[in-house]
Amino acid sequence: MRHSVRGRCARAAAVAAALALTAAACGGGDGGGDDGGGGGDEDVTMIFGTAADPVVLDGALVSDGESLRAIDQMFEGLVTLEPGGTEVAPNLATDWVASDDGLEWTFNLRDDVTFHDGTEFDAAAVCSNFDRWHTFEGSFQNPAATYYWQTVFGGFETFDPNSGAPKDSLYEGCEATEEHQVVLTLTKPSASFLAAMALTNFTFASPDALEKYEADKGEVDAEGIFRATGTFGTEHPIGTGPFKFVSWERNNRLVMERNEDYWGDFPGNIDTLIFRPIPENAARLQALQSGEINGYDLVEPQDFTTIEEADELQLLSRPAFNVGYVGMNQAVEPLDDIAVRQAIAHAIDREEIVDAFYAGQGEVATQFMPPELFGYADDVTTYEYDPDKAKQILTDAGYDLPVKIDFAYPTDVSRPYMPDPQANFEAMVEDLEQCCFEIEEKSAIWTPTYLDNVDNGRYGLYLLGWTGDFGDPDNFIGTFFQSSQKAWGFEDQEIFTCLDDAETETDQEARVTKYEECNRLIMDFLPGVPYVHTEPALAFTANVSGYQPSPVSLEPFSLVSIES
């Protein structure tokens, strides 16, 4: 039997390839994060699984969670929030004071801070950043790009009627009165702006780097999208934070390293921090289980039990910072009658719904803001589940039962405060119909129809909610009730005035009292039925410690340690 030389070579090559693959396969899975703690000289690496890649590492131009998470580690602002809470704390500003008329805010700055490029942080840098934001033009005024500037301050120096940005601005100007003192001037009194200064969007970049790496340079393409040509937000995001940028391979990894010259405390032991985008929930969990990552965010409720039961994993809950509610549009009769609104509140078994559909991560809401936020009132009027009482209220008010009303829910969506809208809806409809109502059921696709319909007052009852942007009641009840809106369909000057006064009150203690009063007023008036606050969850390997879940997701990795 003869064998050709070519045949022997081919077989040998095939065997060699198979052996190589086998050798590679036996190498084992990835190691997620080096050991920490014990080996002092060994670099400690933390790998965190994120749901998506950042958009750009420039706080002024983003509104998505993953960009903000990354920017949080490298940039800082005047103030921050206490870890795990919403109380404003000093950061790059050591202290501050508002003028009597509330228009001027004087901030004293730290004098021992440098940017990652070695340039000094000072009052001029603060004003340079504020002026940059205020003078954004063209595509930069796109609401998707500068959502938070527009939410907090409103308009820009140049008004562009096509941009969608408001004409008026809360921001007047910035003045460096001393080397380490700035005065921010507002166009009208606002105390909510202080908490908003803790937002990642108002953190400071090195002015030298902004210019050198052409942060605002680019071109607008034929479709109106600004394409940055500068590299500030992609290769040189230079701030003052506890971590410094190392590299960013799109959709693969964002690498940061410990800032050895950091001015503040760095109690954690992380030397290298890597954010790894893993869009799919099950993939993030399996990566955690296999040790390829040390932690991840946005844990799905169906995974809570798996994580809690695994000795090598741990589940952490974020304090609730959202609210789910049944909205009531008083422009639709008979919702303009307080008796009907009260009856609806008494007819819905909120506790049963929260127990059934929130996997233990929900708590029943009594008002339109979460307990974590100052101004939360413990003594608002509550509406316990009592269908008999609901019937009584309606009959006393002269209604024939059942009372007819329409009720809408969104489809094709899951929100943190409403993971399964249809389930919530069906349970509520059953409660209402068993009591004293006849419901005309409506539904629409979340975008754009449902939200359009709600905004334009086309529904009577509707399911909706809100997740807070920053730690101020104005971002909750101010957003909902400070002015007349078609979604709510009412004009109540007492509530509007209460919220106006609370927003402009610069004395913090007085503000707290004022907001508590507003919450009582609102729950007496009952424009809607708040029913849930939910606690999103993060998962880590058991050897991770120090992570402080924050209601607004302001979570510094400088506090985190990995133990061997």
Partner 1 sequence: MFKYILRRLLLTIPILIGLSFLVFIFIRTLPGGPGIALLGERATAESREAIERQLGLDKPLFVQYTTYLGNLVEGDLGSSIVTRRPVMDELLERFPATVELGIAAMLFAVAVGVPLGYLAAKRYQGVLDNASLFGSLIGISFPIFFLALILKYIFAVKLGWLPSIGRLDVTRSIEHPTNFYVLDAIIARDPSALADALKHLILPAIALGTIPLAITARITRAATLDVMSEDYVRTARAKGLDPRVVDRRHVLRNAMLPVVTVIGLQTGLLLTGAVLTETVFAWNGVGSWMVNAINNRDFAVIQGGIVFFAAVVVATNLVVDISYAFLNPRIRYS
Give kind and range of the element (H or E) at residue 233: helix 232-235
How many residues line the site for partner 1 (CB under 8 A)?
A: 67
* Residue span binding partner 1 (CB under 8 A) among the ranges 104-112, 247-255, 378-386, 422-430: 247-255
Of 200, 235, 274, 229, which is closest to residue 116 (Cα–Cα)? 235
Site string for partner 1, 265-304 (x = CB under 8 A): -------x-x-xxxxx-xx--xx-xxxx------------
Q: Are 532 and 323 in contact (CB under 8 A)?
A: yes
DSSP secondary structure string for all residues of 478-524: HHHHSS--TTTT---HHHHHHHHHHHH--SHHHHHHHHHHHHHHHHH
**235 interacts with partner 1 by CB under 8 A:** no
Nearer to partner 1, 286 or 305 (CB): 286
Q: Would you count residue 39 as binding partner 1 (CB under 8 A)?
A: no
Nearer to partner 1, 53 or 76 (CB): 53
In the bound state with partner 1, the residue whose beta carbon lies nearer, of 99 and 289, is: 289
CB 286 within 8 A of CB 307: no
Nearer to partner 1, 133 or 462 (CB): 462
Q: Which stretch binds partner 1 (CB under 8 A): 342-350, 389-397, 446-454, 511-519?
A: 446-454
- The answer to the question of residue 110 lying near partner 1 (CB under 8 A) is no
Residues whose CB is less than 8 angstroms from the CB of residue 61 and which lie 6 or more positions away in sequence, other chains included: 55, 140, 145, 146, 233
Which residue in the set 135, 185, 447, 508 belongs to the binding site for partner 1 (CB under 8 A)? 447
Task: Give the binding range for partner 1 (CB under 8 A) out of 28-36, 87-95, 374-382, 425-433.
Answer: 28-36
CB of 59 or CB of 85, closer to partner 1:
59
| Residue (of 339, 430, 350) closest to 391 by Cα position | 339
Among the listed residues 185, 434, 415, the one whose alpha carbon sits nearest the alpha carbon of residue 322: 415
Instruction: Say how many C-beta atoms besides its own lie within 10 A of residue 440's C-beta.
Output: 11
Stretch that binds partner 1, among 348-356, 377-385, 442-450, 490-498 (CB under 8 A): 442-450
Please state the closest distance from residue 279 (CB atom) to partner 1, in A: 7
Find the binding residues for partner 1 in span 352-381 (CB under 8 A). none
DSSP 3-state of 425? helix
Rule CB under 8 A: is residue 95 a binding residue for partner 1? Answer: no
Give, for 149, the enclosing helix (H) or strand (E): helix 147-152
Residues 44-83 that bind partner 1 (CB under 8 A): 45, 47, 53, 55-56, 63
C-alpha–C-alpha distance, residues 322 and 427, integer Å: 21
Q: What is the CA radius of gyration of the chain?
A: 27
- DSSP code, position 409: E
Q: Which residue in 423, 408, 528 sits closest to 476, CA to CA?
A: 528
Positions in 390-429 near partner 1 (CB under 8 A): 415
Of the candidate residues 111, 384, 396, 452, the single one contacting partner 1 (CB under 8 A): 452
- Which of 18, 510 has the CB closer to partner 1? 18
Residue that is written with structure tokens 């606002």 in the block = 190
Nearer CB in complex with partner 1: 8/250: 250
Q: From 141, 186, 182, select the one nearest 159 (Cα to Cα).
A: 141
Shorter beta-carbon distance to partner 1: residue 54 or 242: 54
Using the rule CB under 8 A, give the single segment among 196-204, 365-373, 386-394, 460-468 that binds partner 1.
460-468
Q: Which of 466, 470, 531, 557 binds partner 1 (CB under 8 A)?
A: 466
Nearest CA to 232 out of 252, 251, 212, 248 is that of 212
Pairing of strands 537-541, 253-258: unpaired
CB of residue 273 vs partner 1: minimum separation in angstroms?
A: 12
The residues of the shown chain that bind partner 1, judged by CB under 8 A, are: 20-21, 23-31, 45, 47, 53, 55-56, 63, 139, 142-144, 147, 162-165, 221-228, 247, 249-253, 272, 274, 276-280, 282-283, 286-287, 289-292, 415, 445, 447-449, 451-452, 455-456, 464-466
